[in-house]
Amino acid sequence: MVDSARLSLHVPEPAVRPGGQPDFSNVKIAKAGAVPRPEVDVASEDIRELAYSIIRVLNRDGEAVGPWAGSLSDDELLIGLRNMMKLRAFDARMLMAQRQGKTSFYMQHLGEEAVSCAFRKALVKGDMNFPTYRQAGLLISDDYPMVEMMNQIYSNESDPLRGRQLPIMYSSKEHGFFTISGNLATQYVQAVGWAMASAIKNDSRIAAAWIGDGSTAESDFHSALVFASTYKAPVILNIVNNQWAISTFQGIARGGSGTFAARGLGFGIPALRVDGNDYLAVHAVARWAAERARRNLGPTLIEYVTYRVGAHSTSDDPSAYRPKTESEAWPLGDPVLRLMKHLIVKGAWSEERHVQAEAEIADEVIEAQRQAEAHGTLHAGGRPSVRDIFEGVYAEMPPHIRRQRQKAGY
Amino acid sequence: MARMTMIEAVRSAMDVSMARDDDVVVFGEDVGYFGGVFRSTQGLQAKYGRTRCFDTPISESGIVGTAIGMAAYGLKPCVEIQFADYMYPAYDQLTQEAARIRYRSNGDFTCPIVVRMPTGGGIFGGQTHSQSPEALFTHVCGLKVIVPSNPYDAKGLLIAAIEDPDPVMFLEPKRLYNGPFDGHHERPVTPWSKHDLGEVPDGHYTIPIGKAEVRRTGSAVTVVAYGTMVHVALAAAEDAGIDAEVIDLRSLLPLDLDTIVKSVTKTGRCVVVHEATLTSGFGAEVAALVQEHCFYHLEAPVVRVAGWDTPYPHAQEWDYFPGPGRVGRALAEVMEA
Ligand SMILES: Cc1ncc(C[n+]2csc(CCOP(=O)(O)OP(=O)(O)O)c2C)c(N)n1
């Protein structure tokens, strides 16, 4: 006889729910500068601890410390700060535009600006991102015109995607930004394929895959890791762990132990965890991974530990599932304020210049919005033609679609 | 010109395409070193190297997903799903991604991939090796769907598919890999070497996607079929001694409606035959189109002959697979009406 107890199912729950005291005591945070920086040709098994720790550069006093510091000049940091501020201002305007009924939907980046903005600066022209929906910083940091982004959000007559895509699902081959799918995780394995193609053609360009913590549960995430490790594809596999997948805390996709980064280790993929609110750390780690890829050393998996301060989207109400003050308790701070402080400490920036920059950026965003709205918003002004419904399904319009277009009167 | 089986014709299509265009890559499970479980990629790795023809992990979403990424890069991947029955893990990549990338990016990105897969029954493959999922793809705007019925078409269509700027599903009826087939299980497959359509040019040629072919002219009734069922329909017309016109669709999406309408307008009668299950099968689409476009010419209701609405059985596959008997009864039925 086997002595068996009655089984019970374990369903993970976050430490705190609405009404409770926010508690991040479970988030183990390494001191800034404490995590070593290995050579890029290191084997994944020799840096296992990097998948469990958190690489940080900026300390509490705003200084850049440790072996991952120094990948950017002051000028580059000032550009980074400006890009993050732009993204934040852009988000604020577009969130308001959605509230005003000018578009149907919006998703903001509040608290996560450093991840995509710093990452983009580790890539070069020709590299390709396969983003999910919270990486508009990739476009902003590459100077993609804000007006075009707004035209897309408004689905107006100048929308580069002719009104076919949900707001924020941008596409720009020129700016290394693959067309966004609403179906989570599909892009992850596509990025690996793009990277494999680059290797097949003995090219020098690399790819970057993007996914959220919740979406790592999708099978495409695992397919991507298999293919990336099998073929040593020149790809950077990014996981943005912002603690929440709509109302579901990260422990549901991850379980109670391990980290998302650690998932790479079973595939022999070097895996690093980084402070996603530390512009310098994100950039340094991304540059390390990009160098690995470019030297044909294969994929790197990076988990960005961050916090989604805003709602998941304009259709979400976070107060229904987490304490209202949780974001304030987030121990890794605000990426914009942290970089600002660092630059002030270095003497490269000041409170006054920051206030002035904020005003300039606000003007820039308002001006872009004015230009975009001259082309219409979702419910007012110029719209893409109904004819656009039928175009572009195939390279050449087949007869059955032509018949339908004629029937529709176009 | 050489005599080829359909497998050889398919292989030749990939060979010709890979030789002409360095951007064509071929991969899938067991496709590389071994040359595929049906041997359709045999020799390609030896000829073109391991980075242009290679084995993949057993991950269909991975195969199609990476193909999409490669296509976005600028390659032309032609991938194999080992059996059509195993394409479901890749369904998301096909329907939500491959099919829509051009549209959703307004042409910024495109997806010129080919997904090949052996389909259909008649080889004692049971329910896990006999499926005909074409209707699942024809419902997806943005895909093209091809089902060849002979070596000559298979090669010309596959080359056209590889050169096509959009994603193409290429369904290969495995019952036809070695020869045409009249639907009588007691009679063996006739080798393609004895058939005109087994005469295949060695070099490059294409057959336009979206054009049907009339395989037998007649004036009494139109039989619309594709893949294996073309041969069954031809045998049925022969057996029943009916003056039937047999149309081989070759391409289901886009569909050559003109050829169907022209024929049914002439004959006034229509039977649609396919091996896939009846309900919501592609025959329903053909029947509806015939009704819309030929109503005033019809002398009898359109009749469909198809697989039963059950999974594909192992032991009774010859009662499942529409044969000339079932098609013959349908022909008699529409002739009486
Ligand atoms: C395949 C699929 N399933 C479900 C959804 C609905 N959905 C949209 S976002 C989301 C949560 C994603 O969370 P995460 O990956 O952590 O990213 P985050 O929003 O936190 O950045 C869900 C379930 C979807 N878009 N696609």
Element (H, E) at B240: helix B228-240
Of A187, A200, A231, which to mutate for an interface test with B (greatest number of B Cβ within 10 Å)? A200
A with B: how many residue pairs have Cβ under 8 Å apart?
149
- Helix, strand and coil in chain B, % to nearest 5: 40, 20, 40
Residue of chain A whose Cα is closest to the Cα of B59:
A223
The pLDDT confidence band at residue B18, using thresholds 50, 70 and 90, is very high
Q: Residue A205's closest chain B neighbor by CA?
A: B73
Alpha-carbon distance values, A268 to A7, A41, A110 (Å): 34, 13, 33
pLDDT digits (tens, 9 = 90+) for B169-215: 999 999 999 999 888 776 678 999 999 999 999 999 999 999 999 99
Residue B84 φ/ψ, nearest 5 degrees: -55, -30
- The alpha-carbon radius of gyration of chain B (Å, integer) is 19
Q: How far apart are CA A145 and CA A138, in angstroms?
A: 12
Judged against a pLDDT cut of 70, whether residue B144 lies above it is answered with: yes
Token pair listed for B208: 């336009």
A288/A278 Cα distance (integer angstroms): 15
Among chain B residues, the shortest Cα distance to A175 is held by B108
What is the pLDDT, as a whole number, of residue B187?
Answer: 67
Structure confidence at residue B337 (pLDDT): 83
- A312 ligand 1 Cβ < 6 A: yes
3-state DSSP assignment of residue B114: strand
Mean pLDDT taken over chain B: 96
Q: What is the pLDDT of residue A1?
A: 62
Q: With a cut of 0.90, is the ipTM above it?
A: yes
Atom of ligand 1 nearest to the CA of A246: 11
Q: What is the pLDDT of residue A164?
A: 96
CB distance B212 to B248 below 8 Å: yes
User: What's the gap in Å between A244 CA and the centre of ligand 1?
Assistant: 10
Q: Are A400 and A406 in contact (CB under 8 A)?
A: no
**Phi and psi at residue A36, in whole multiples of 5°?**
-65, 160
Q: Which two tokens stand for residue A347?
A: 């003497």
Which atom of ligand 1 is closest in space to residue A185's alpha carbon? 1
Catalytic residue among B129, B184, B204, B231: B129
Tell me the average pLDDT across B94-113. Answer: 98
Distant-in-sequence, close-in-space partners of A130: CB < 8 Å, separation ≥ 6: A178, A187, A188, A190, A191, A194, A207, A208, A209, A210, B69
- Residue in chain B closest to A402 (alpha carbons) equals B254
**Residues B69-99: tens digit of each pLDDT:** 999 999 999 999 999 999 999 999 999 999 9
Sign of CA dihedral A287, A288, A293, A296: positive
Alpha-carbon distance B277 to B298, whole Å?
A: 25
* Spans of chain A, pLDDT less than 70: 1
CA of A182, closest atom in ligand 1: 25
Helix axis angle, A146-154 to A351-373, nearest 10°: 50
Give the count of beta carbons closer than 10 Å to the beta carbon of residue B55: 18
For atom 17 of ligand 1, which residue has the closest CA?
A212
Q: Distance from A193 to chain B by nearest Cα, in Å?
A: 4
A128 Cα to the center of ligand 1, angstroms:
22
pLDDT tens for each residue of A312-343: 999 999 999 999 999 999 999 999 999 999 99
Indicate the pairing of strand B168-173 with strand B270-277.
unpaired
| CB contact (8 A) between residue A165 and residue B104 | yes
Are A252 and A214 a contacting pair, CB within 8 Å? yes
Closest CA to A138 of A233, A61, A207: A207
| Residues of chain A contacting residue B108, judged by C-beta atoms under 8 Å apart | 160, 171-173, 179
**Cα A135 to middle of ligand 1, angstroms:** 14
**What is chain B's length?**
337
Cβ neighbours of residue A402 closer than 8 Å, sequence gap 6 or more: A390
**How far apart are the C-alpha atoms of B39 and B56, rounded to whole Å?**
16
Mean pLDDT (whole number) for B323-328:
95
Q: Which two tokens stand for residue B330?
A: 């349908």
Cα dihedral B174, B179, B180, B184 in deg (nearest 10): -80
Compute, in angstroms, the gap from residue B226 CA to the centroid of ligand 1: 41
Contact residues, chain B, for A224 at CB < 8 Å: 62, 65
Looking at the complex, report in whole angstroms how far the Cα of residue B92 sits from the nearest Cα belonging to chain A: 8
Q: Which of A112, A180, A184, A238 to mutate to test the pocket of ligand 1 (most atoms within 8 A of CB)?
A: A184
Active-site annotation holds for B185: no
Task: In whole angstroms, give the CA distance from residue B101 to residue A220.
Answer: 17
* pTM of the predicted model over 0.90: yes
Q: Which atom of ligand 1 is nearest to the CA of A215?
A: 15
